[in-house]
Structures are given as structure tokens and as C-alpha cells.
Chain A
Amino acid sequence: MTVASDGGVPSGPAAGSSSGLVKRFGRALPALPGLAVLLFLFLVPMAIMFVFSFWRTNNDFVVVPEWNLGNYARFFVEGTYLRTFIKTLIMAGLVTVAALAIGLPFAYFLVRYTGKLTQRVILLAVIVPFWTSYLVRVYAWQAILGEHGALNQILQAIGVIKVPLDIFNYDDPGVFVVLTYIYFPFALLALYASLEKFDFTQLNAAQDLGARPDQAFRHILLPQIRAGIITACIFVFIPILGEFLTPTLVGGAQSSLIANLVLNFLRNDQFAEGAALAIIIAAFVTAIMIVFRKSFRVEDVVTSG
């Protein structure tokens, strides 16, 4: 329920006067450091990037203020960009589906069938990898999936394969596995948070009223954890649109995702072109968020209280 309250502060005629202004400033004071960070570390760089995206990189690799739409046109004209972008969406989509497919049954099992202590221990185990650097974890996967990695050695040792497999090595399946590993915890935590609030007696009630277990799941559980599922999707799908390290380290030359192309521009000092591509991605993400925001609101109304 959204109950608007002013925190008990009387909003009388004094609100417009000078003493009212002082009061308001006093209330806003704790928010100022945050606003400063947002302004100088996010909005200002974003604005610079936005302006750069309409400028041009000259032959000396200097961004010059010559307004044009060429940087954007390139995205739609040269096939590589659109192809890579679509491939990135497919990769992000597959990883999201995989993270949900693993995370939902797991979170359900945790919440319904294990005690609070077990839940805490397992959730801690899920979070612990974040204490190690991202880079180290991806390198570790290289040691598992690589040509002479643990996976191939085990498979060879037990005689399943003769020659080392290379599907997980410097190719998309390897990127998929590593991205799923990295983003699964985010999905799990989001799903856990929404499942934890669910009263499982409702599933008994649904079955009592004649619903098959699958109907009880669809009509009763799913609508009530939809917010958690959407959060999980956002936590997984959107960061993958900015993933460049895993494709670089685990994937091969063909495994580039869209963020790798941005990185390539920046490495080549083509800041204007890079900025335009980054803006396209950002615009796309914003569009997704707006779409999901709508479903968020509906759920907020329904699940509150």
C-alpha cells in the first residue's frame, strides 16, 4: 500500500517562507553526498559520452566537434554490430533462462524444506565467491575448461574422449557456462527473497480446493513471486549486455559480445564511435527497464501487505 505521509512534519503555511526553505535544506543534507556522486561520476560522464557520440574521431585519433550521425549509422549499416548485438541478446537470454531454471527449484527447495540455519549457510556459500575477484574466478574457469584443463583431463582419464574437446574452450558454450556461473547467485538471491515471504500453506489450500500441483504453482505461487523473477531477470540479463571480460578470457575471436566491440573502439582511441555504441546499449537497457517497471508496479500493488 502506498500511504503518503510526511513523516509527521507539519506542512503549514511556513513551507514557502525562508525558514521553510532552511528546514527543507536540512532534510536534504544527508542526500547531498549521494547526489554529488551521481552528478559527477554518472550524469556528467554520461553527458560527455552523449556529446562525443555525435562528434568525429579524426585521422590523428582526436575527437573533434564535427556534429554527425555517422557513428550511429555505422551500427545499422555494418552487419557486424547488429549481428553481435543480437548474439549478445541471445547469450544474455539463454544465461537468464539457465539461471532461473537452476535458481528457482533451488530457492524453492531451500525455503520450503530446509531450516533457517541451513539456508544461511548455503546462501553464504553462494555469496563467498564474490569475495574473490571476478578476474580470478574467470581465470579459474580457464583452468577447468581449457584444452589441458581439468574437464578434458578427467574425461580423457575415464576414457570418454580420446582427443581434448574444444567446445568449452575459446567458444560460445564456454562463455555460456562461465556467465551462468557468475550470474546464477544474483538470480538465486532475488528469487530467495521473494520466495521467503511466500506462505506455503497457500499451496495446500489450492490443492485442497481442487488444483493439481502444477495449477497451484501457476495460479498461486507464480503470480506472487513474479516481482522476484523479474528482479532476477534484470540482475542477470542487463549486466551481460556489458560483459566483455568473460568473452575475452574464455571465448575466442568469434565469441565477442557487444561490449567487446565498445572496448575495441576505446582501445583504438575511437572514442566517438565507442561512445555511440555505448549509448545505443544504454538506450536499449533503459527501454527494457521501462517495460519491466510497468510490471513491477502492478506487482507492488498486489503483493504489498
Chain B
Amino acid sequence: MVTNQPWPGRPADSDLAEPVPAIELRHATKRYGEAVALDDVSMVIQPGEFFCLLGPSGCGKTTTLNLIGGFIPLTSGDLLIEGHTVNDLPPHKRNVNTVFQSYALFPHMTVAENVAFGLRMEKLSKADIAQRTREYLELVGLSGLAGRLPAQMSGGQQQRVALARALAKRPAVLLLDEPLGALDLKLRKQMQTELARIHRQVGTTFVFVTHDQEEALSMATQIAIMSNGTVLQQGSPREVYDRPANRFVADFVGDTNFLAGTVRRDGGQAVFDVGSAVVDVQGDAEAGPATLMIRPEFLALRQGDATDGPRGLTARVVNVAFLGNHTRITVSTAAGEMVVVRPHGTRDSTADTQRELGEEVCVWWRTENAALIRE
């Protein structure tokens, strides 16, 4: 059984009201000449998290990872690992380890030698090295392949070697730089489950960089969505999905329908003018221009002349795509096209999924499932 070693000098949790963050960035900035890769980012990563840095390429997520790993220096600001400022500490003295995107396995060493390398550098005894190498190869399920060379292994197996090699150092934080990017879809899904299991088993803080929102949602306990060198929102997967801070987050994480319009107070009730139609929004909304965001799975369809339930928008069905476990229906409204996703196999959705092309319908949603975004 693998256990997480306490990091020397780490204050016992009971001494403090709050645990010491595994990683803390304070006004971290990284410039390359004129270009700003990371712009005054402050971020706290709690110990034991599976923390995902999510964003499109060039958003600063890999820069953040390289800063924590010590491969590039900060331009300004501070970086703390377990409460210690490590701004100028070289990589080999930091208690963090990295799983590189290309794995960066040593091709002239066997799998066991790769895993043992970091332990050799620590000058552990031969017996300890052998024991720990075995332990971590077992953790990633490669016990039988210790004598292989990396070139004799599949991409997925190489990935596991890289994982074992980094974890064997028992770091405070494990950094993973898009480690699943090179794997095919099926293997990637399998490794996602595998990574989540390993994370639970070792209890180490994982910081994971990806541009794949599905990967982030499925594995992370915390997600930070980045764009243009800043963090737009940080929260649990459900928080960033259900209550995105802005249009970029809503658009990047999951599929979303946006309706541009104006919030108006109508008596005690807030309503939303979208084109010529009016829909209800949650009561405390302030008046002014805004964007209403509704996830496709929260949209439902009913007969165009039906009047039960909340107000909706008149729409025409323009496409129906049956995708097995769900159906994607595209409808055209006065406010633009909207995508409706209905799950397969429940009785009340059957009517929804069997819409005719060109059919006149009403697309509606519950007010609590729509979020208002101010630009």
C-alpha cells in the first residue's frame, strides 16, 4: 500500500486553523519580452486535490505548470510549495514531480531503471530503491514489465512508467502535462479512470493540465479555467458547469445556448426581453443588457400551442440527430438557433425526441436552470 510521506518542515494540520496549501501562486506573472504568458495570477491549490488547469492552447496553463516544476523562472510574484517560497529553487530541489506530455522516458534504461533513477539521485539504499520501484510499478500495473525498454512498450504503458517514475519520488505535488493527449480515445477513457484511482490511492495533490473539458470534468476535484494568462474561474466541476462566471467559461466547458437580450423589471418580477419574445428569469436579476445561458439538456420542447409551464420561445425544428443515448434537436427561434439535447429511454422524452422536421414547437426551460451572464 502506498502512503503519502509527510513533507519535512510541514506544520501539523492541527496547529493551524486551515491546512497549508500544497501550491500557492501570489500575483504570479511571466513575461516573454512583450508577451505576457501569465498575468498576475493568484491561486491556491489545497493538498489532496485533483486540480485541473483547463483552457485553450496559449492560455498559460502549461506556463503555470512549468513555473511550479521550476523549469522557467517567474518574472514577478511568488510561488509557494507547502508554505515555502520556492521562486529561485532549481527543479531538482523541489518536492514536485512531473509527468511530461511526451513522457520523456530514458530510452537507454529499462522500465525499472527509469523508475529507480529519481531514487538513485536521492541516494537511497539499494534495498529501498528496489522495494519502492516494485511498489510503484505494481501501483500502475506494470509489475511484469520491469525489464523492458521503453521502446518495447505501447503508449499507454509508457504513460504508466512515467507516472510510476514521478510518483516513486513521493512528491508533495504531482504535475501532469496533458499526459493523455497522445493516447487514442478508448485508451484515454481507460487512463482517466486509472488516474482517478491512483490519485485516490496515493492521496498526493495532482495538478493536471488539459485542453479537454470532458477530461477535466470527469477527473478533477477542482478546475481552474484559464484564458490569455489569467484564471477566469476556479471551482468544482459542478460549479463551473452550472454557474459559469462568464461567457467564455460557459462556452468552453460543455455546450451552451446563449440568448442576448435585456433584463426588465415588470412589477416585482424580472423578465427577459429576447427579440420580440419575453421569458421569465430569476427574481433578483438587475435590469440591463445581459446574456441568458441555458445548457441543451435543460431545454424541453412542447407543442407550439400548449400554454402549460413557464413561458418559452416559439421555434421550428430544423434538425434532428439521433445519437443513441440521446437525441440532438436543433431548433430555429427568433433569437437564433438553439440546441436541445434529450436523453433516450425515458417515457417523457420520447415525445421530445420524435419531432418532425419543420414542426412548429415551443422551446422552454425552468428559470432556475438558466444563468444570466453580464458582459
Contact = CB atoms under 8 A, between A and B. Distances in A.
Most buried by A among B90, B92, B100, B105: B92
A208 B121 contact: no
Nearest to B171: A208
Given A202-B104, A209-B169, A224-B107, A304 B151 contact: yes
A208 B97 contact: yes
B108 A223 contact: yes
A199 B102 contact: yes
A70 B122 CA distance: 62
A220 B114 CA distance: 11
A46 to B, nearest CB: 38
Contact of A199 (B98, B104, B151, B169): B104
A207 B100 contact: no
Given A209-B117, A212-B92, A204 B151 contact: no
B108 A204 contact: no
Contacts of B106: 202, 205-206, 220
B226 to A, nearest CB: 22
Nearest to A210: B121
Contacts of B169: 209-210
A12 to B, nearest CB: 32
Contact of A210 (B71, B92, B100, B149): B92
A207 B118 CA distance: 9
B48 interface: no
Contacts of A219: 117
Contacts of B69: 204, 208
A201 interface: yes
A305 B117 contact: no
Contact of B90 (A207, A215, A304, A305): A207
Given A209-B169, A224-B108, A204 B100 contact: yes
A207 B98 CA distance: 10
Interface string A53-72: 00000000000000000000
A242 B150 CA distance: 42
B91 interface: yes
Interface in B101-156: 102, 104-108, 117-118, 121-122, 149, 151-152
Contacts of A305: 107, 149, 151-152
B97 A209 contact: yes
Interface in B30-77: 69-71
A230 B63 CA distance: 38
Interface residues of B, number: 26
A302 interface: yes
Nearest to A299: B108
Most buried by A among B71, B102, B121, B166: B121
A156 interface: no
Contact of A207 (B92, B107, B151, B165): B92
Contact of A303 (B105, B107, B117): B107
Contacts of A215: 121
A163 B149 CA distance: 63
B107 A201 contact: no
A201 B103 CA distance: 9
A151 interface: no
A201 B108 contact: no
Contacts of A303: 107-108
Interface in A246-305: 302-305
A226 to B, nearest CB: 9
B240 to A, nearest CB: 29
A144 interface: no
A205 B107 contact: no
B31 to A, nearest CB: 20
A211 interface: yes
Given A208-B69, A209-B165, A211-B121, A201 B92 contact: no
Contacts of A207: 70, 90-92
20 contacts: A1-B151, A199-B104, A201-B104, A204-B71, A204-B104, A205-B104, A205-B106, A207-B92, A208-B69, A208-B98, A208-B166, A209-B92, A209-B121, A209-B166, A210-B122, A210-B169, A211-B117, A211-B121, A212-B92, A304-B151
Interface of B: 69-71, 90-92, 96-98, 100, 102, 104-108, 117-118, 121-122, 149, 151-152, 165-166, 169
Given A199-B104, A202-B104, A302-B149, 9 more contacts: A204-B71, A205-B105, A206-B106, A208-B96, A208-B98, A209-B169, A210-B92, A211-B117, A303-B107
